[in-house]
Amino acid sequence: MIIGALHRLLGAAYHGLGFASRYVVIRGHTLHYYESHREERNHTLVLLHGLGTSASTWALALPTLRALGRVIALDLPGFGRSRMPEAGFVPTFAGHLMILRDFMRATVPESMNLVGHSLGGWLAMLLALEDPSRVRKLVLLNPAGVWYEGCEQVASAFDVHSTRDTSQLLDRLWFRFPWYFRPFLGSIHNELRGRKVFDLVQTIRREEFVNERLRDLPLDTSVIWGQEDRLLSAETLSILRREIPTARVIMIPRCGHVPQLECPGRTLDALRLALEAGQERP
């Protein structure tokens, strides 16, 4: 109930900033997304959030990013204000990708700049690999989806059975977890359980990791990395550097797995650099 109220308040705030709240039905899923009112449809920026969160993760970035053109911030299937098709439905990673692919075709007919955080970064990489002609620039914030020895242990962090488990997860996501979020631990715990986050993680297959395909990314790619990430190993970044040698890498020191929330000013500077830079590489 508390999280739902926060989503409604956030929606009102977004509306005041010039964003419309929209819904579309894709494969039986009612998907919610925020869209800026600007009409420059040939300059669309699509934002994909991480596991267990929603378009709310971009709350501190949207007021600035809207100046770059049309912006779409999606609530992934079953998250935020997007709804499951039926009670008891178990989401899958492959299903997310199919639904997202159809969503893009329905709402973004032109090419786009694609920004993804964590799980959203993984999905963004797969979308770009499937159809690179539609993605002008790819920006990845602490992306998941890169296989390294021991990465299977990341899934267990989302198997939360108590508020203590949830607290431990949040401490891994943040370099310094804000004290003012702690009163909401119970609501965050219920949200993670109700959204079947761990069920989704368990559907991921080894072949869905992107390592062997990264060199096929022929487009302008930037990686923004919160340097104190305790959820994903720095091996992720090492592999991305090796497999995408042309990628622009921007480090955010003293910042954890969710730089857009923990270090919004520096992350916005990094996003602007990635999105406004030309084709040249540093």
pLDDT, residue 279, reads 42
Asked if the structure places residue 237 within a domain, the reply is yes
Asked if the structure places residue 117 within a domain, the reply is yes
Taking the model in full, what pTM does it have?
Answer: 0.93
pLDDT, residue 11, reads 61
Asked if the structure places residue 21 within a domain, the reply is yes
Of the candidates 143, 132, 113, 140, the residue with the CA atom closest to the CA atom of residue 276: 113
d(CA 48, CA 54): 8
pLDDT, residue 280, reads 42
Separation in Å, CA 266 to CA 178, 225, 237, 255: 17, 11, 19, 10
Which band of pLDDT confidence, cut at 50, 70 and 90, is reported for residue 109? confident
Name, in order, each residue with C-beta under 8 angstroms of 215's C-beta and a sequence gap of 6 or more.
Answer: 243, 244
CB contact at 8 A, 77 and 29 = yes
pLDDT, residue 88, reads 72
Of the candidates 154, 151, 144, 158, the residue with the CA atom closest to the CA atom of residue 200: 158
Which letter, b or e, does each residue of 162-196 get, where b requires 16 or more Cβ atoms within 10 Å of its Cβ? eeebbbebbebbbbebeeeeeeeeebbbbbbeebb
Structural domain for 80, as ranges = 2-276
CATH code of 111's domain: 3.40.50.1820
Which band of pLDDT confidence, cut at 50, 70 and 90, is reported for residue 184? confident
Which band of pLDDT confidence, cut at 50, 70 and 90, is reported for residue 276? confident
- Tell me the residue type at 86: E
Asked if the structure places residue 281 within a domain, the reply is no
Separation in Å, CA 5 to CA 12, 34, 52, 87, 130: 11, 17, 17, 21, 37
Average pLDDT for residues 46-55, to the nearest whole number?
94
Overall size of the chain counted in residues: 282
Asked if the structure places residue 282 within a domain, the reply is no
* 204 φ/ψ angles, rounded to the nearest 5 degrees: -70, 135
- Order of strands across the sheet that contains 70-74: 19-26, 29-36, 70-74, 44-48, 112-117, 135-141, 220-226, 248-252
Separation in Å, CA 205 to CA 55, 69, 154, 200, 209: 26, 36, 14, 11, 8
Our count of domains for the chain comes to 1
Lowest-confidence pick of 72-76, 114-118, 172-176, 278-282: 278-282
pLDDT, residue 18, reads 76
Asked if the structure places residue 45 within a domain, the reply is yes
CB contact at 8 A, 39 and 14 = no
Is the predicted pLDDT of residue 70 greater than 70, yes or no? Answer: yes
Radius of gyration for the chain, computed over Cα atoms and rounded to the nearest angstrom: 17
Asked if the structure places residue 231 within a domain, the reply is yes
Which band of pLDDT confidence, cut at 50, 70 and 90, is reported for residue 281? very low
